Structure 1
Amino acid sequence: MNVQGLANFIWGVADILRGDYKQASYGQVILPFTVLRRLDCVLSSTKENVLTKYEAIQNMNEDAIDKILNKESGYNFHNRSKFDFQKLLAEHDKIGINLRNYVAGFSAEAREILDKFKFDDQISYLDDKNLLFLVLESFAKIDLHPDTVSSMEMGYVFEELIRKFAEISNETAGEHFTPREVIRLMVNLLFNNDNDILSQKGIVKTLYDCACGTGGMLSVAEEYLKELNPDARLEVFGQELNDESYAICKADMMIKGQKASNIKFGNSFTTDGFENDKFDYCLVNPPFGVAWKKVQKQIKKEHDQLGFGGRFGAGLPRVSDGSLLFLQHLISKMKPSNGGSRIAIVFNGSPLFTGSAGSGESEIRKWIIENDMLEAIVALPDQLFYNTGISTYFWIVTNRKDSQRKGKVQLINAVSFFHKMSRSLGNKRNEISDEDIKTITQVYGDFKEGKYCKIFHNSDFGYSRVTVERPLIEDGEVVTTKQGIPKPDTKLRDNENIPLKTGKTDSSEEDIQEYMEKEVLPHVPDAWVDHSKTKVGYEINFTKYFYEYKPLRSLAEIRSDILALEKATDGLLNEVLN
């Protein structure tokens, strides 16, 4: 059974729930039972050994018991209850009590996963409605053993179940996971320059996702490194705000032998689960355009009191969009520049250009670019994500650029690298193929200008925003101050964005005057610049850099088409009349 078929088969349990549950609540039963069945199948081959060992050591202290039974199970968790799915079904009249006994038999971190689903509440409700046995019986027929369903496939199954749940409950599936081919492309570019490092025998690296959802980013990165170097080890760390996504991610980490304690619950901005940690790599797809008003007080306090000693020293974006807060948070997790770190983050178009000079967004871009941390931006095809059809980009940010990339930013236009899917999934109608990923990765690695690649100096994105004044005129005379200085007419006040010169971080008065003489004074000779109001801003007008002029069609071509159309229309008209 393929992933789609398996997910549909599991979702078929909803037929049992119909009538006693609202459609929007189906996932509250199906998701935790899927996790529980997966844990049950994973532990099945060592269950008897664990129970035998437990009989011999049950008088030892709890920490010692956990370590011994985990070793016996072969995973970082175990279950010491005598029950499994089959034995639970053998006692129909005690199904509720026995299921609670089974859940209580899991080690602490596995129990926490089920607690996040509020699983005990579901046991009570299902038992009260005489549905518990039927649901358990249905899941007992589903084989989720690792030999049958790999970790990768299980991740896809969870994603498909969440998507179904999100669709019928009008939630946003895209908040929980990212298409795997997008992650694969990001991981390719994130690791691309580090092949020499990552291929070393016994190498251990760390990767962090501050909005990890069900853990797709972490899983794909780990799989990629294993393909590159079976002897390498990637320790993954994540934090997630959504209860169900957190539970699924933690379960996946446990089953794969990763440290489940590396997955933290809560809001990364207000309850940073890794406050004092630094990571080799960061990989994240934060929610697009999400307001941060609920955490505004804490973030503003950190910005005001700690400045660059905290995470948000560069600036605060408008409250309606916290995208650039995520990036600043990740930059605070980079290792010092001598070791260095690399970040890949997905954004919509807003962080590229929103906010004029002096705004929070512009100040954040300015800080990142002037400190030579922005390495590359890739424009992705639209209709690529489940919850939105808009254009998206991902940024590569690092504090250890290769020598050829220092002082430069690479822009890659990959909007045409996709193929249409045979069946849409929400707003996702396009998909990036393996061949597309290979081509985009090569364009990135070659670092040469071409149709899909442009390379700029850092300062090419900077500009000085100057205030241009015109004199106030009354009764045909220029109004002046007591010192004889012309007063500005606020109604005629205007602004000009003057591009920075290569290598500069601001414009001198001479640069500004040169621009004025060339672009402004020929049209308004009485204008002047109020230098006290000049601000330096940064924006990345991605579309402008890849604009291709398409000449208008000639009149002769248009006329020919019209005449041909008229001729065809006359022919159709004659057929109708005859």
Structure 2
Amino acid sequence: MLSNPPFGVEWKKVQKEVVDEHKLKGFDGRFGPGLPRVSDGSLLFLLHLISKMRPVGEGGSRIGIILNGSPLFTGGAGSGESEIRRYVLENDLLEAIVAMPNDMFFNTGIATYIWILSNHKSKEHKNKVQLINAAKMGESMRKSLGSKRKELKEASIDDITRLYGAFEENEISKIFDTTDFGYRRITVERPLQLSYYPHDSERVDALKEDKAFVKLDKALQDEILTALADIKEEKISDRELFAKKLDVKLTASQFKLIQKHISEHDDEAVLCRDKKGKLEANPDLRDNENIPLSESIESYFAREVKPHVPLAWIDEKKTDDKDGKVGIVGYEIPFNRHFYEYVAPRALEEIDAELDAVTSEIMKLLKEVHS
């Protein structure tokens, strides 16, 4: 099957039907793996074609579909796009992706890619994906046709076909395991450490102007402001001590409202703990790390995170819906990264010489103007 669906077309007009099929039919329908964002239906076309593949027992099928760059990487772990890529790769359906030259189409000059999928891979292709970078094989046309300024000559098409058939690596052909494109996104937490500044006028003014504070009973507002003014210390780096000094009966949300404006993170402050004695996380310092599926979470965390933030920990409640393990699995295919060629910057002397030449030319022109 061959397909060249429109690039980046939104599917809002059929959103209800597509969402219903996804929810009600699941994998018995076309869109079981997931749904992409409404603004780009490219991956819906891909799922539609996959649903039309003949079973392996009946000979199987091979698909060739032209897509733009978005389906390669759009959407983080757990997103609809990532889940679709996950389905394709974990079911070993992707055989190869070929990067085409720009300016190959009449109405757009964007980068395009041919995805080749198969459900009856040969033994040597099992659990492998070949990336072929044919982006530089295009030749300029004598006369442009709209945005189409380049074409692939027969010789270039033959070269691409041979690369695909040979299934070998060289400077424009690389072979990966399907799991090389997968990662596990973990949530890294850091402890809540706060210092409070009860006499900072800007902070107190911000508290007064907060809509949530304005809605409080006037008597409670006055009590809070008076209590802040009565605290002798300019800075308190201990939450429990601050609450004791404040000495106002507050709900948890009311105390957090004050804390929001009066405090800030301080690495030297006392660690905040909950009623069970466990460290509380600071949501403002929450971060994510994408760890390759081939690597242990523990070893990665010990090597890449702990040396820089010793008090950090992994939120083990964030688990993947499918395998139940810590971290959410995601898949992306960073095609250009695998074919990136480093270009060294020009020598500083060369740049200086060029600037001097340009400056001299400008001065010469200015003299001519004033003469």
- Report the CA distance shift for 1:526/1:573 in structure 2 as closer, same or farther (over 3 A): closer
- Report the CA distance shift for 1:478/1:393 in structure 2 as closer, same or farther (over 3 A): same
2:43 is equivalent to residue 324 of structure 1: yes
Distance (Å, rounded) in 1 between the aligned partners of 2:286 and 2:13 = 37
Alignment-derived partner of residue 538 in structure 1: 331
Alignment-derived partner of residue 354 in structure 1: 74
Higher percent of residues as helix: 1
Instruction: Note the C-alpha offset of 1:341.
Output: 0.5
Distance (Å, rounded) in 2 between the aligned partners of 1:492 and 1:572 = 55
Q: Secondary structure at the match of 2:56?
A: coil
2:54 is equivalent to residue 335 of structure 1: yes
Given the alignment, which residue of 466, 484, 487 partners 2:186?
A: 466
Deviations along 1:240-295, whole A, 9 cap, x unmatched? Answer: xxxxxxxxxxxxxxxxxxxxxxxxxxxxxxxxxxxxxxxxxx10001111111111
Alignment-derived partner of residue 308 in structure 2: 523
Alignment-derived partner of residue 5 in structure 2: 286
Instruction: Note the C-alpha offset of 1:441.
Output: 1.3
Instruction: Note the C-alpha offset of 1:321.
Output: 0.9
Alignment-derived partner of residue 87 in structure 2: 367
Distance (Å, rounded) in 2 between the aligned partners of 1:554 and 1:538 = 39
Structure 2 residue runs of 5 or longer lacking an equivalent are: 195-237, 239-268, 319-326
Distance (Å, rounded) in 1 between the aligned partners of 2:135 and 2:42 = 21
- Report the CA distance shift for 1:434/1:573 in structure 2 as closer, same or farther (over 3 A): farther
Given the alignment, which residue of 283, 298, 302 partners 1:490?
A: 283
Runs of 4+ in structure 1 displaced over 3 angstroms?
559-578
Instruction: Note the C-alpha offset of 1:309.
Output: 0.9
Distance (Å, rounded) in 2 between the aligned partners of 1:380 and 1:368 = 21
The aligned runs of 1:151-300 (5 Å cut-off) are 282-300=1-19
Given the alignment, which residue of 15, 19, 27 partners 1:308?
A: 27
Deviations along 1:328-363, whole A, 9 cap, x unmatched? Answer: 111111111231100000101110001100000000
The alignment yields a C-alpha RMSD, in angstroms, of: 2.1
Distance (Å, rounded) in 2 between the aligned partners of 1:320 and 1:473 = 41
Given the alignment, which residue of 412, 420, 428 partners 2:140?
A: 420
| Count of residues in Structure 1 that have an aligned counterpart in Structure 2 | 289
Q: Secondary structure at the match of 1:532?
A: coil
Instruction: Note the C-alpha offset of 1:569.
Output: 7.7
- Report the CA distance shift for 1:438/1:487 in structure 2 as closer, same or farther (over 3 A): same
The one of the two structures with greater contact order (alpha-carbon pairs below 8 A, sep at least 6) is 2
Distance (Å, rounded) in 1 between the aligned partners of 2:193 and 2:354 = 56
Instruction: Write the letter of the residue equivalent to 1:336.
Output: P
Instruction: Write the letter of the residue equivalent to 2:96.
Output: A
Alignment-derived partner of residue 514 in structure 1: 299
Q: Secondary structure at the match of 1:477?
A: coil
Instruction: Note the C-alpha offset of 1:459.
Output: 0.7
- Report the CA distance shift for 1:443/1:568 in structure 2 as closer, same or farther (over 3 A): farther
Normalising by the residue count of structure 2, what TM-score does the alignment of the two structures yield?
Answer: 0.73
Instruction: Note the C-alpha offset of 1:556.
Output: 2.9
Deviations along 1:200-257, whole A, 9 cap, x unmatched? Answer: xxxxxxxxxxxxxxxxxxxxxxxxxxxxxxxxxxxxxxxxxxxxxxxxxxxxxxxxxx
Instruction: Note the C-alpha offset of 1:433.
Output: 1.1
Given the alignment, which residue of 430, 448, 457 partners 2:150?
A: 430
Distance (Å, rounded) in 1 between the aligned partners of 2:127 and 2:272 = 47
Instruction: Note the C-alpha offset of 1:557.
Output: 2.9
Percentage identity across paired residues of the two chains: 57
Distance (Å, rounded) in 2 between the aligned partners of 1:435 and 1:571 = 52
Distance (Å, rounded) in 2 between the aligned partners of 1:315 and 1:404 = 29
Distance (Å, rounded) in 1 between the aligned partners of 2:123 and 2:358 = 59
Alignment-derived partner of residue 164 in structure 2: 444
Alignment-derived partner of residue 229 in structure 2: none
Instruction: Note the C-alpha offset of 1:303.
Output: 1.0
